[in-house]
Structure 1
Amino acid sequence: MTPHFVIAGGGVAGLTTALALHAVGFERVTVVEAARELRPAGAGLNLMPGAVRELDALGLLAALESGAALRTRELRYYHRSGALISREPRGLGAGYRWPQLSVHRAHLQQVLADAVRDRLGPAAVVPGVRVAGVELPGGGRPRLRLVHRDGGRRGRASMEPDVLIGADGIRSAVRAALHPGETGPVWNGMLVWRGVSRLPAAAIGSFMLIAGDDRQKAVVYPMTRPPRPGGQVLVNWALARPAEGAPEERLLGDWRRDVPVETFLHHFEGWEFDGVSIPRVLRAADTAQEYPMVDRDPLDRWSHGRTTLVGDAAHAMYPIGSNGASQSVVDARALAHALACHPDPAEALRAYEAERRPVTTALQQANRRLGPEVVIDLAHRRAPHGFTDVHQVIPAEELAAIAGRYAASGAFDPATVNQGSPYGPPCLPARAPRAVAGPVTFA
């Protein structure tokens, strides 16, 4: 009998995992999502070339680029004084075979959700269902307790899939079952504000910028092309600075709290970088989301028998280096490939974890050290009032070494990425006759 996979979580990690499983021949896949509707939300994100390579292998690149996505061609780091620290080509311009993409999370999630429904059927995604409990019998199939919410009525169900995949985010219920004594998200004392604005293309430039000092930073980049000359583009922005007080514990990991832009705009007055005015970007936004900057401590184990984790559930990291969604995509492909190559699911999950956990642990730790953004802190410490020649502050060799170390830590340097996806044949099984998962039935 063909195995049945249940994925807890219908975000980027969960939906990509469903598509990756389908691509290697598995048809019985059910995605359960706590939200009543699979409604795209959030702001923008960057997909690194290694992740774009995997989405291309899944046949999704054309759909991504046909809508709200833009090829990121250049990244610039600035000191808060306006002085340029470095400028780096990205994607194809940096020698990759695949582009780097700036994209609205809503667009990415919609492309993924449409593909899941088209390839696996409309019943493959079950909204309004959350995991209420997981039992992990030694060597056997996991047992899930599910709660369904539909217009205030409650229903309960249980399932025993062949494999359970926790893709349910930073406060993962599946992770909690695997590690019942673990503490929650870890806060670094910073607040983050993020949002989306619409501005004339001439006001935002064609590059991604990261600017600031050793205390606060701004990230701004366009995500779309203007529909016509002189038209507006969609702009993603994210800001960070130390919090003035500790947030409630329940807010750690919750990025959905709307706040007026005016509550933090004054911290960034006067910030302008090669014609891009941060206050102008902020004033063009309707609203903003505020959340504490958190991650999770790296785990020494992701899997237990036939249960494992992907994405933020496995390795939530600080939003540095454009790696959150990117690593989730690679997780999905690596997991599906391991399951195709190993008939024993438990053995497959061990192989997947052995490959992916060291890489993402290194990135979590690198991001706690600020990853490539450490150049901003170095520049400010060495020249707090600004400079005219960055190489008198940070030698070119030191700048190159910082960027190179970070790329190597995640195996997303051009030489590695350009070898092509390691998750294709020869382990793809013969495609079995179509057998979709049955509906989830609630009492």
Structure 2
Amino acid sequence: MSTVIAGGGIGGLTTALSLHAAGVGGVRVLEAVPEIRPLGVGLNILPNAVRELAELDLLDELLAVSLPTGSLGFHNRHGQLIWREPRGMAAGYRWPQLSIHRGRLQAVLADAVRRRLGPDVIVTDARVEGFTPREDGGVDVRVHHPAAGRHSEVAADALIGADGIHSKVRACLYPDEGPPPWNGLVVWRGTTMAPPFLDGRSMIIAGDDRRRAVVYPMSAADEPGGPVLMNWAVARTADAETVFEEADWNRAVAPETFLHHFADLDFDWLDVPALIRTAREAYVYPMVDRDPLPRWTHGPVTLLGDAAHAMYPMGSNGATQSIVDARVLARELACRESPAAALASYEAERLPVLTGIQASARRRGPEVVIDLAHERAPGGFGDVAGIFGDGELESISAEFARLGGFDPETVNTRPSLAAATGAGGAR
């Protein structure tokens, strides 16, 4: 069987590795950029996805370039703690939660693909522009090579659209959809070398109903008290005159152009303005997502990751769910009799779950506790128990984990998503 994967990001590379692990050959990853470089900022990989990367024998490499997250704390705009919960192994998972620079994660995955599948499996300067289904059930994929100034065509039994929120494969399936909808929030993200805060393994989200800051370390200090690589993201409601022509994640911006919006988020345990002021890099983009689709799969073509279910960054589910998508898809392609049947089965398992997570993200996911705290006590509180009912905070957190199937019991006890050894199918 031959499989073309459009997109060499987290989901596409994990799909390639998972297909190889399942014994499915004929994989080719087509990446639009001329060279895969360590771009982006930080992200969190939840234990349900770390389990999948561990089963791909990548955990040791990832631990060397990341930091296991110990806790997640929600704070109001005064820095007061609303709710803190353990994360990863501290929460009872058998696998950690990892805070990692996106570029480092992509590099680990890309290096593994080249080692295991061959140096030519990832083809750069190869943008999928369209496709034509064939009568035999396969698909002819049209490819543009911008830097080389040419076009080509690739025949495949299956095409996986893992080409992100601006997916060309999705646009071909849904040509009238238009650009990703914007919710009116602007996000600035960056990285800074800074001293660790709290216990050095804490992720925090602080703010109110209009502004928010997310901060977490992605590395340990080389020496006690030394600086660590810190990820930060700040968001606020856009001014009326703010216009974005497109959602470009790599649009650089000078920190002084937005620092004043967050100047008062200076707590005795964390100075958010100082992180912004001393940033190594900073980017701005509108907070956008995609509306849920009625179907991802059309015969030999399907969608994966952000191409299928781009969502607001609430709950660390973007890259996490792309990894889980990849594992389920590879299992089905290894076990089903035809690619079309495999892609349909993958969709049947994943689409309902992701539709629910997308809807929850639009309601701010577990971050809704910050909105509730501001609504009930905008000036702060003496005791958080006075503004939340008994068990209310715990139930909000548990419900979000249950919705996505990434509560500790489910992650620890469910069967592996890897294809069974010796399984026959669409190979």
Question: Structure 1 pair 288/223, CA: closer, same or farther in 2 (3 Å)?
Answer: same
Q: Any idea what the Cα deviations from partners look like across 1:257-304, whole Å, max 9, x if unmatched?
A: 111111111111121345111011112203310000000000010001
Q: State TM-score, norm by structure 1.
A: 0.93
**2:416 alignment partner, SS class:** coil
1:326 is matched with: 320
Q: TM-score under structure 2 normalisation?
A: 0.96
- 372-381 or 178-187, which deviates more: 178-187
3-state DSSP of counterpart to 2:152: strand
Structure 2 residue 114 is matched with structure 1 residue 120: no
Cα distance in 1, alignment partners of residues 166 and 131 from structure 2: 14
The match for 1:359 is: 353
Instruction: Tell me what 2:2 maps to.
Output: 4
Please list the CA deviations of residues 5-47 of structure 1 after superposition, one character each: whole Å capped at 9, or x if unmatched.
Answer: 1000001011111001101001211101010001121000000
2:234 is matched with which residue?
239
Aligned with residue 404 of structure 2, among 386, 410, 422 = 410
* C-alpha deviation, 1:338, in angstroms: 0.7
C-alpha deviation, 1:246, in angstroms: 6.0
- Bigger shift: residues 86-95 or 273-282: 273-282
1:419 aligns with 413
**2:158 paired residue number:** 163
Correspondence 1:194 to 2:189: yes
Letter in 1 for 2:126: V
Shift of 1:201: 2.6
Distance 1:246 1:118 in 2: 49
User: What amino acid does structure 1 have at the position aligned with 2:337?
Assistant: P
CA change 1:60–1:305 in 2 (3 A) is: same
Are 2:139 and 1:142 aligned? yes
Residue-by-residue CA offset, 1:124-167 (whole Å, 9 max, x unaligned): 000011012222346621221111133xx411101121110000
Q: Which runs of 5+ in 2 are unaligned?
A: none
Determine whether 1:180 maps to 2:175.
yes
Match of 1:97 in 2: 94
The equivalent residue for 1:441 is: none
How many corresponding residue pairs? 427
Partner SS for 2:284: strand
In the alignment, is residue 390 of structure 1 matched against residue 387 of structure 2? no
Correspondence 1:368 to 2:362: yes
Match of 2:45 among 44, 47, 62: 47
Distance in 2, matches of 1:273 and 1:355, equals: 44
State the SS of the aligned residue for 1:160. strand
Q: Tell me the distance in 2 between the aligned counterparts of 1:75 and 1:52.
A: 17
Shift of 1:402: 0.6
Q: Which residue of 1 aligns with 2:393?
A: 399
Q: How does 1:331-346 map to 2 (within 5 A)?
A: 331-346=325-340
Quick one: distance in 2 between partners of 1:292 and 1:317?
12
Once residues 306 and 197 of structure 2 are traced to their aligned partners in structure 1, the CA distance between those partners, rounded to angstroms, is 36
Q: How does 1:246-325 map to 2 (within 5 A)?
A: 248=243, 250-252=245-247, 254-273=248-267, 275-325=269-319
Q: Counterparts of 1:220 and 1:204 in 2: how far apart (Å)?
A: 13
Q: 1:211 aligns with which of 202, 206, 210?
A: 206
> Residues 202, 301 of structure 1: CA spacing in aligned structure 2 closer, same or farther, 3 A cutoff?
closer
Say if 1:71 and 1:157 are closer, same or farther in 2 by CA, change over 3 A: same
CA 1:339 to 1:274, structure 2 compared with 1: closer, same or farther past 3 Å?
farther
8 Å contact from structure 1 (residues 202, 230) kept in 2: no
Of 85, 90, 111, the residue aligned with 1:88 is 85
**Contact in 2 for aligned 1:131/1:173 (Cα 8 Å):** yes
User: What are the ranges of 5 or more consecutive residues in structure 1 without an aligned counterpart?
Assistant: 436-443
Aligned residue identity for 1:260:
A
